[in-house]
Copies of this chain bind each other. A is one copy, B any other.
């Protein structure tokens, strides 16, 4: 074993990535249900059995794609927020910028978006490794709200959700229990997150097709209203 990677090892790593990339390209064309190991092999000019040197099964490729999708979406959101913060924007505007970044990514990668937020692929159950990348987006959103609370610009709710709290203790420990008068902040954050993903899902599946004229303007308007329910001020 040398300090440098052997040629074999480098080739292996590269092909592993190439298989995932080909699968991703195919996912973009036919969707998750139509993704086939044989088709990926065909695209790469290899035999189907060769795939088994790199992934133990079709499901393992699917898992790789899911992880990739969560990471791509997560870093798109993080990048948008970082840029907004660098420009000195307030939390309300940061929220809108992140929403737009998420929507932009989803429109550019609709099948990958459906893979993580759409109907679960039948017969597939995601392993625990996908949890961490999945939280990158929610972490970003949570950061905006806690920054607003710290800056004193977060509007307390007119009618807070009455106790008891509906959030799992483990989550409260991870994020810290929001202090008064924001006890129900996490519940409201979940609503706002649901509105974001739900609106994009509806747009992508054509539910607004004959109803909304300007999808971009509608999205901005709706995300602003949604943010207000969590106490974020529009700009």
Contacts and interface: CB of A to CB of B under 8 A. Distances in A.
Contact of A229 (B199, B201, B225): B225
A6 interface: no
A159 B222 contact: no
A150 interface: no
Interface string A154-198: 000001010001111011000000000000100110110011011
A168 B33 contact: no
A228 interface: yes
A30 interface: yes
Contacts of A190: 208, 211-212, 218, 222
Nearest to A122: B31
Interface residues on A, range: 35 or more
A217 interface: yes
Contacts of A225: 161, 188, 191, 229
A2 interface: no
Contacts of A55: none
Contacts of A199: 191, 194, 198
A213 interface: yes
A114 interface: yes
Contacts of A184: 221
Contacts of A197: 198, 202
Interface of A: 30-31, 33-34, 114, 117-120, 122, 159, 161, 165-168, 170-171, 184, 187-188, 190-191, 194-195, 197-199, 201-202, 205-208, 210-214, 217-218, 221-222, 225-226, 228-229, 234
Given A159-B234, A167-B211, A191-B222, 13 more contacts: A31-B122, A114-B119, A117-B205, A119-B119, A161-B221, A161-B225, A165-B213, A168-B212, A187-B222, A190-B211, A198-B199, A225-B229, A229-B229
Given A168-B211, A194-B195, A195-B198, A120 B205 contact: yes
A115 B210 CA distance: 20
